[in-house]
Amino acid sequence: MNYELNFEYLIERVTPQMDAEQVAQVYRAYEVAHEAHTGQTRDEGTPYIVHPIRVAVSIVDELNLYSPKLICSALLHDVIEDSAVTREDIGRMFDEEIAEVVWLLTKLEEVRLSEYLARIEAAAHTGAPIVKLCDRLDNLRSVAHTPLHDELQRWLEEARADLTRLETMLKGGHR
């Protein structure tokens, strides 16, 4: 997989699987995310918008899921914590299901990592864990390019916690 795939590639992949209204919704999610992340860069130096696009592409290419809700949520997953966009804004622009997933994926500073992950796990029915795992996968793929040692350590610790929770969920029969 080419990890620098762009939005046009994502649209090419989903268009045969979605109706025109769903594709338009994916475009809107991209536009909101692009605007929210304008001027932001990832630790590895890429424009921030590349990350949510890669997360959405992972959902499609690696999991073979064409859910507009999951794809839009992937594109929007960092907008609340990185911009002035609110959960209510997302609910108005999209729908309550997408707003709920994006809210679940929003890591607030005052919330401990274990609480954050437990909240996502408890809402497995929303699809939030799928987006979170694709997010974590992209973070791990890009971590080799980050010059920030502290960021690398944080990502590795969070990935370990995610994998432990996933393993527990799978052993318990939750799918």
Distance of CA 118 to CAs 17, 39, 92, 112, 173, Å?
A: 32, 32, 27, 10, 17
Residue tagged active-site, from 44, 82, 89, 151: 82
Rounded Cα distance between 128 and 70, Å, is 8
Q: Is 82 a catalytic residue?
A: yes
Backbone torsions φ then ψ of 41, nearest 5 degrees: -130, 155
Residue tagged active-site, from 43, 44, 81, 151: 81
Amino acid at 147: P
Write out the two tokens for 106: 């929003």
Sequence-distant (6+) residues with CB within 8 A of 3 are 54, 138, 141, 142
Q: Is 81 a catalytic residue?
A: yes
Question: Which residues are 47's β-sheet partners?
Answer: 41
Cα–chain-centroid distance for residue 88? 18
Sequence-distant (6+) residues with CB within 8 A of 140 are 155, 159
Active site residues: 81-82
